[in-house]
Chains A and B, each alone.
Chain A
Amino acid sequence: MALLKNGYLSQDELQKLPGVPTPERLAKGPVVVIECAQEIPCNPCETACAKGAIHIGENIIELPVLEEEKCSGCALCVAACPGQAIFVVDATYSETEGTVTLPYEYLPLPQKGDLVDGLNRAGEAVCTARVLRVVNPEKYDHTAVITIAVPKALIMEVRSLRRKQSEV
C-alpha cells in the first residue's frame, strides 16, 4: 500500500474509499472528499455534519461513509477532522478551474487574492493556485479553512499550498 510506504494515498487507493464521491457527484458541484483509509477510533466528522451526510455509526472505528447526495460541500467537517483528511472540491467553479478547500495550520496565513503554489499529496508544487477564501473562526480552533482555485484537472491532486518561494 503506497499510503503506508510514502505516507500519502495513490489515486487507486483513494478511489476505493467510501468517503470519496463518484465522478457523477463531483460533476454536480461542491462535495467533500474524505481521505480516511484506516480504521481508527474517531468520529468528529459525523458529529460535525449538519446534513447527516457522513456515516460512521456506533462502532467508531468504521471508515466514514459519504452519502453524497446529502452533502452540500459546506466544509464544516474540514476543520473538525483531527486527521486533516477531509477536503471539499468543486469541479463547477469555472470553465477551466475548480476549487479545493483544505485545512491549514501554518503561519503566515495567505490572504484572499494571493497566488500560491498548489501542492499535491507528496508536497510537490503542481500548479499556481489563487486564494479565494480564508476562514478562521473561533469554532475551528486555529484550523484555518482555505479555498483555492486550481486547474480543473487537479482538484483531486492538490491538497496543500505554499507561499511562492520568491516571497519567502
Chain B
Amino acid sequence: MRETEFAIVGAGPAGLSAAIEAARAGVQVTLIDENEKPGGQLFKQIHKFFGSKEHYAGVRGIDIGYQLLDEVEKCGAEVMLNSVVWGIFENLDLGIIQNGKRNLHLQPKKVLLATGAVENALAFPGWTLAGVMGAGAIQTLVNVHRVLPGKRILMVGSGNVGLIVSYQLLQAGAEVVALVEAAPRIGGYAVHASKVARRGVPILVSTTVKEALGKETVEQAVLVSLDENWKPIPGSERTLDVDVICLACGLSPLAELAWMAGVDFTYIPQFGGWMPLHNENMETTRSGLYIAGDLAGIEEASTAIEEGRLAGVAAAESLGYLSPAAAEEQKTVIRKRLNQLREGPFGEARKEIKEQLAFGGGKWRY
C-alpha cells in the first residue's frame, strides 16, 4: 500500500485547482484521473469565459486549461493518469486500476472527489439510432478530435451547453437546422442564443423532438409543439431532414464514489439532482472527504475552479500546512469570487442554497 497526504480524484478544473492550492502550501498531493490527459472537459471549451479578470474572463477555456496544467507542473503535485479509482473504503483508502492492468492501493490522509458530471439523456422513439448523441460527446469530437459527427444537426435544449455547442458546430462548418427547447423560454444566456440566431439558426421554444426516423442512422427528426402544460399539440408535428440529433438536456453529478463513501446526500433540482451535502469548506459529512466542482452541484467551469481552490486550502489547513488565520484569509478571497459568480438571476438561487448547505444543510437536509 502506498501513502499520500492528499488524494484528488479527477483532474478537471476543480481537481487541478485544488492540487495547485494544496501543493503550494506544502501538501504532498496525488492527482488521479482515468483519462490519458488531464484537464477534464476544459480542453473542449474553446469559447471565451465570462466573469472578471480574477475569474480568467475573456480567456478561452482551453487556454485556462493550459495555464492550470502549467501551474500543476510547477507546484510539484504528482499526476497519475490512465488510472481509474474503482473504490473508496473504511479509512478513505482508494482502490485504483492503472493502465487497465495494475491494481494500486493508495492510503491518503484526505481525499477530494472532483469527479464531475454525466450528461442526461432524453428518451423518445428512435433515440437509440446512430446519430443521436450527447452534446458533450459532440463537443469532444468537434473541438478535441476535429471530426464532425454529421452535417445537419438538430440541437435539443437551450441551456448554455446547447447554445454553446450549436455555436461551435457552426464554427466547425456544420449546419444547425434548428434548436428546440421544451420550456417556453430559452434557458441559457441570451448572448449565446443571439450568436446562433444571427447565423440563421431557428430557436424554437415550447417545442421538442417527438421521434427520430431512420433505418440504422438518423435521417429525420419529427418536431412537435407543446402547450402551456408541456403537452404535445396534435397536428403540430413537422419533419426535418437531419443526420444528427444532439441532446443537451442537462447534467447530473457523477457521484458513485461519494455514494460508496457513505456520505449524506441531498436532492437539489437547481444543482442537477442528487449530490453530497457539504459545508463552507467543501467537506462532506465524512471528515477528511471533500468534494468540488460539478459533483458538488452542476455549475460552470469557473465556479469549479474556485471550489477546487477552496477545498485545496481547507485540506492544507486540516493537514497543518496553513494556520487557521492564513487559511481563513485565502478562503475569504475565494468565497468572494465564488459569490460574484453566483450573483444575478442565473446564480442567486444557487448562492442561497450553497449558503444553507454551509450551515448544516438547512432545509436540504433530510
Contacts and interface: CB of A to CB of B under 8 A. Distances in A.
Interface of A: 1, 3-9, 35-44, 47-48, 59-61, 80, 82-85, 105-107, 119-124, 141, 143, 159-160, 162
8 shortest A-B CB distances, which residue pairs?
Answer: A123-B200, A83-B191, A7-B193, A61-B344, A7-B197, A82-B48, A39-B344, A42-B50
Nearest to B59: A141
A4 B181 CA distance: 11
A42 B343 CA distance: 10
Contacts of A43: 51-52, 57
B198 A42 contact: no
Nearest to A13: B190
B37 interface: no
Identify whether the interface residues of B are mostly helix, strand, loop, or mixed: mixed
Contacts of A124: 200
A12 to B, nearest CB: 15
A84 B121 CA distance: 30
18 contacts: A3-B193, A4-B185, A6-B203, A7-B194, A38-B189, A39-B345, A41-B55, A43-B57, A82-B47, A82-B50, A84-B191, A105-B171, A106-B170, A119-B198, A121-B197, A123-B197, A124-B200, A143-B48
Q: In this complex, which of B51, B197, B200 has the most chain A Cβ atoms within 10 angstroms of its Cβ?
A: B197
Contact of A7 (B59, B190, B345): B190
Given A5-B185, A7-B186, A85 B49 contact: no
B194 A121 contact: yes
Contacts of B195: 83-84
Contacts of B194: 3, 7-9, 35, 83-85, 121
Given A5-B205, A84-B195, A85-B194, A106 B48 contact: no
Contacts of B60: 141
A46 to B, nearest CB: 9
B157 to A, nearest CB: 13
Given A7-B186, A160-B198, A83 B203 contact: no
B185 A40 contact: no
A30 to B, nearest CB: 21
A40 B49 CA distance: 12
A41 B212 CA distance: 38
Nearest to A106: B171
Interface in B322-366: 340-347
Given A42-B57, A82-B57, A105-B171, A7 B343 contact: no
Interface residues of B, number: 42
Nearest to B60: A141
Contact of A41 (B48, B50, B171, B199): B50
Contacts of A35: 191, 194
Given A41-B343, A42-B50, 20 more contacts: A5-B184, A7-B196, A7-B203, A8-B193, A35-B191, A38-B191, A38-B345, A39-B345, A40-B189, A40-B346, A41-B340, A42-B57, A44-B52, A44-B53, A82-B58, A83-B192, A119-B200, A123-B200, A143-B48, A160-B199
Interface string B40-64: 0000000111111101011110010
A67 to B, nearest CB: 20
B81 interface: no
Nearest to A120: B198
Nearest to B198: A160
A38 B196 CA distance: 17
Given A5-B185, A106-B170, A44 B197 contact: no
A6 to B, nearest CB: 6
Contacts of B185: 1, 4-5
A143 to B, nearest CB: 7
A4 to B, nearest CB: 4
A119 B171 contact: no
B57 A123 contact: no
Contact of B50 (A3, A40, A106): A40
B201 interface: yes
A4 B190 CA distance: 7
